[in-house]
Amino acid sequence: MIVVRLCGGLGNQLFQYAAARSLSERLQTAVKLDTTWFHLQQDRNFMIDVFHIKADMASEQEISTFHTSGRTGFWPKLHGMLTNKKRTDQTYFQEEHFHVNPDFFHLNNSVYLDGYWQSEKYFENIKEQLRNELTYKKPSTDENKDMLAEISSTKNPTVSLHIRRGDYVKDPRITRVLYSCQLDYYHKAVETIAQKVSNPFFYVFSDDVPWCHKHLRLHHAYKVISHNPPGQEWEDFRLMTACQHHITANSSFSWWGAWLDHTPQKIIISPLKWFKNKNYNDKDLIPSGWIRI
């Protein structure tokens, strides 16, 4: 059994699930989801159940057993003595750094995964399987249905462009670690796309739509998507994935919006700088073939 701790937004949850799903395929065992983090949060929700995921919810007993067997210190040891549990067949595996940990690929028993696992390398063995599995349980409705039809039927090459602001500019804990991509990045990315495809049409997705209307000026046809309210991020995500090419922010949300797109020969542009903090090594974050500028 693989138990994975889920936290963060939709993109982070997908990374965590994908790593667990990959490991479960190799070990031929079930995936269980630990969603307790969301019980303590007011601004984040468990979201990946909108997809056809192959996982069940972990019970409190399953979670506590792993936590006890994996963590050191007085209270975990005391709990183990009182319950007379000595589990030698379980591993609590915590992410220690941002780049890929090769020990992940040698796990061979029941595992609790605690981390972000933000690299395609963790699930490269099932990447096409994941693209086929991560489909929506329900079809689009109303404006999203119409917009999806528009994106799918346009004769111009379609490009998703994601602008992440929100906590990247408002939360000091985040701003110390992550950049908010500036307009010069987007202008360079747009012109790079325009040099490679004829008459591209850009669909802009953002958590700060008023800022986009005020500041974003492209010399190409574009539309800012603004009808989906907070809490329905997956609807923007579905529209984003329907585009043929992609300009991502330094965000796991648009990383997955680009990655899940099935378009052959798609062009994906991502920021060269992902973190302010030089202690984070992002060498494994961006798949080969993506363009970093």
Question: Could you read off the pLDDT of 78-123 as tens digits, one per residue?
Answer: 333 344 443 445 689 999 899 999 999 999 889 999 999 999 999 9
- CA 133 and chain centroid, separation: 15
Provide the pLDDT for residue 31. 97
∠124-127-133 over CA atoms, to 5°?
Answer: 150
135 pLDDT higher than 80: yes
pLDDT of residue 160: 98
Cα–Cα distance between 207 and 229 in angstroms, integer? Answer: 9
Residue type, 136: Y
Quick one: pLDDT at residue 78?
37
**DSSP secondary structure code for residue 105 in this structure:** G
Question: ∠ at Cα 211 (208, 212), nearest 5°?
Answer: 90
Greatest mean pLDDT among 11-20, 230-239, 278-287 lies in 11-20
> Quick one: pLDDT at residue 67?
65
pLDDT: which is higher, 81 or 230: 230
- The region, left, alpha or beta by phi > 0 then psi within -120 to 50, assigned to residue 109 is beta
Q: What is the pTM of this model?
A: 0.91
Pick the closest to residue 157 from 264, 272, 249, 287 (CA basis): 264
List, for residues 55-65, the tens digit of each pLDDT value.
999 999 999 88
Tell which phi-psi region holds residue 142, choosing left (phi > 0), alpha (psi between -120 and 50) or beta.
left
Cβ(291)–Cβ(267) below 8 Å: yes
pLDDT digits (tens, 9 = 90+) for 142-169: 999 999 999 999 999 999 999 999 888 8
Which tens digit of pLDDT belongs to each residue from 167-211? 888 888 888 888 899 999 999 999 999 999 999 999 999 999 999
CA atoms within 13 A on the CB side of 45: 9
